[in-house]
Amino acid sequence: MRTMAEQSPPYWVLISVLFSSQPLTPALAMTLHQAAYELYRRGDAEQPVAGDLLTGRVRNLRQDVQIGALTGPAFEAEIETERGSGTVRFLLTRQGLELMKEQPSEPLAPPRPRYLN
């Protein structure tokens, strides 16, 4: 049995789409979320994104957006999918950012063994 902390929150808690010229599936939304969260966490401006469903680039717009009760940092993605190219503008929700902070971080990889020649 998995605890609540081990379960991944649904994508609509993590990401709020402001505009999309392509229909977003849950898997596509989670891929964009992961790329944007890494940009946010590292403070980087841009990074490529690739997966089974898409290729493209995600850009950190370096501004916060508020729409009603939702607020968070804004991002833009230029993507290529099986349906063609498109643009997605979205934000990472504050609630989602808090949930991601609570997630246990991945353990560090064990050190590589040293070989004697």
67 Cβ contact partners less than 8 Å away, ≥ 6 residues apart: 16, 18, 91
Query: Digits of tens for pLDDT over the chain (117 positions)?
Result: 344 445 677 887 888 999 999 888 888 999 999 999 999 999 999 999 988 878 999 999 999 999 888 899 999 999 999 889 999 999 999 998 998 888 765 543 444 555 555
Quote the pTM value: 0.78
- Predicted pLDDT of residue 105: 55
- Predicted pLDDT of residue 116: 57
- DSSP 8-state class, residue 21: S
DSSP H stretches of helix in 3-105: 11-14, 26-42, 94-102
- Predicted pLDDT of residue 108: 39
